[in-house]
Amino acid sequence: MSLSPLHEGESLFRLLIENVSDIVTVVDAEGILHYESPSVERLLGYKPEELTGKNVFEYIHPDDAQHVLAVFTQGEAHSRTASRSKVLAPIEFRFKHRNGTWRFLEAVSNNLLHDPNVKGIVVNCRDITERKLNEEMIRYMAYYDTLTHLPNRPLFNDRLTLALAQAHRNQQMLAVMLLDLDQFKTINDTLGHDVGDHLLKGVAERLVNCLREGDTVARLGGDEFMLLLPGITQVEDVHRIAQKILNALKLAFHFDGHELHITASIGISLYPSDSKDAETLIKKADTALHRAKAQGRNNYQFNTQTMNAKALERLMLESSLRRALERGELIVYYQPQIDVRTGKVIGMEALARFQSPQLGEISPTKFIPLAEEIGLIVPLDEGILRAACAQNKAWQNAGFPPLRMAVNMSTRHFRDKGFVDTVMRILEETGLHPNDLELELTESIVMENTETTISMLRQLKQAGIHLSIDDFGTGYSSLSYLKRFPLDALKIDQSFVRDISTDPDAAAITTAIIAMAHGLKLKVIAEGVETREQLIFLRRHYCDGMQGYLFGKPMPADVFTQLFQKKPHLIHRGR
């Protein structure tokens, strides 16, 4: 019995559908799958019956679901108002494979919800995963170096252009560094390109580790790298990063049985001092790079000679500071602290001084920040603390009355887990009683990791050590936290004291600090007292202690000894 033309057409249609390479799907208005062609198993791993009755959105990537839903909703809305089918716009989305991976599909849909024989949207899906991956690879290769996976020159230029616009808007500096590996060609020619490629990848990794978040390092080709450092607040930051890179590259590279040593030359240009446009900044960094090579390689050079002189001075200072710490050559000076009521010397503050054989006397404002940058602040702190405690004990052994020695502590040292143990060990080694030591902390120190800070302060306080906040009024102390700290004193910053006799605001702030401290049962010491007018003001408002040039500049231990022997009273009550 022969089939009718209608049945023959249906059989032919089913034969085509079941053998087509693409996936044919029928989904209803609620997103329920009613039919999947057999090709779904070959392309997505599911047997058709595994998907039938499931909601299609359970398998669509969450990031693509909103877009697919919008197209789907458009098709469903059309079915309520139209009597003819409508081919919906092609879309791309990710669909979960049975093995858990995501495949990219391109779908063309025909809305047949109104057709009583179909009552669904017929979707024809094609797997385009390989095409998408190839497109992604082409995009990646356009902006990234395939060996090191660093940005390439076009991407670097884009980022530099954007960074220049931001620097102009925020009135900030930025730096461009051009780096070239010294003698890389010799390694490449001698040991082969595979070893050379390994070395380049190792260099790239170390460069990335030297930079801050937001910085960019790019490979331009061969052994040339370019670095972008936005958001520079001071040139010293650029010095520090350049030296960090040179130090990192000096360490040996080990792979394939080889131990390789490499150095680099770096040229640096700065926005806006060297130029305000990207092309000129890169050219000037290149000029500086050639100068670095001419200087013997393994160094960095700025575009301007002034910056290079500063770089040389910084290197000399760092070298001198390291040597001074190793040899114990830092000097401790002492500045007397005076009781306002009696005029007697009641203590002193220990202050670090550095006399470099090459550079002369170096200001603490220079060498202390440098010590923090290069990781020497903890041994510097410990050296000053030990010397100050030993000197105070020596004075007591010589017959001086007990005086309290105040020593500044850095944020980095205070954060050290062994800080309390270090202080107690130094007291034991020098024989100084804890009651004769005062540790001066900054507001920023006590406000960080509050609970940990309180615990450490309590340990020190229980041992008998006095605690004070230095430069009070310049930080951001919260009074609610301040009353929780086991403190003994606040030191009013000299920026307020300097103007108390001429500036009503400074006078009001100083008066308020004294009143607040006394309300918290804390002593108050004023720093930077230089005039009789300041002394009279502070005495009138019941400040407890003072220090400053009016009573004595910071001085060596022998000079302080002579001063105390001759003038135990540096001011007289009523004067």
Is 310 part of any domain? Answer: no
167, 169, 174, 301 from 286: Cα distances, Å: 21, 26, 16, 10
pLDDT tier at 19 (50, 70, 90 boundaries)?
low
Domain harbouring 203, CATH code: 3.30.70.270
Q: Which pLDDT belongs to residue 9?
A: 43
Is 225 part of any domain? Answer: yes
In tens, the pLDDT along 116-157 reads 877 888 899 999 989 988 888 888 778 898 899 999 999 999
Tokens representing 393 are 């004990």
365, 447, 451, 499, 512 from 473: Cα distances, Å: 20, 13, 22, 14, 10
Tokens representing 532 are 């009789």
Domain harbouring 84, CATH code: 3.30.450.20
Higher local confidence (pLDDT), 374 or 334? 334
Is 479 part of any domain? Answer: yes
Q: Is 135 helix (H, G, I), strand (E, B) or coil?
A: helix
End position of a domain, from candidates 245, 279, 303: 303
Nearest Cα to Cα of residue 81 among 126, 125, 111, 123 = 111
Domain count, the chain: 3
Q: Are residues 271 and 151 in the same domain?
A: yes
Is 94 part of any domain? Answer: yes
Is 92 part of any domain? Answer: yes
Is 108 part of any domain? Answer: yes
Q: Which pLDDT belongs to residue 464?
A: 95
- Note whether 35 and 26 are within 8 A (CB): yes
Q: Which pLDDT belongs to residue 13?
A: 47
- Note whether 151 and 159 are within 8 A (CB): yes
Burial class (CB in 10 A: 0-12, 13-18, 19+), 497: buried
In tens, the pLDDT along 182-198 reads 988 888 888 888 888 99
Rounded distance, CA 65 to CA 81, Å? 25
- Note whether 197 and 223 are within 8 A (CB): no
Instruction: State which H helix or E strand residue 220 sits in.
Output: strand 216-221
In tens, the pLDDT along 467-484 reads 998 888 665 555 666 778
Q: The whole model's pTM is what?
A: 0.56
In tens, the pLDDT along 318-372 reads 888 888 888 877 899 999 999 988 888 899 999 999 887 777 888 888 888 888 8
- Whether the predicted pLDDT of 85 surpasses 70: no
Which range marks the domain in which residue 481 is found?
336-353+377-564
Q: Are residues 523 and 415 in the same domain?
A: yes
Rounded distance, CA 306 to CA 323, Å? 26
Rounded distance, CA 486 to CA 468, Å? 9
Q: Are residues 126 and 170 in the same domain?
A: no
Q: Are residues 158 and 77 in the same domain?
A: no
Q: Are residues 212 and 265 in the same domain?
A: yes
Question: CA torsion sign, 456 to 457 to 458 to 459?
Answer: positive
Rounded distance, CA 501 to CA 35, Å? 90
Is 371 part of any domain? Answer: no
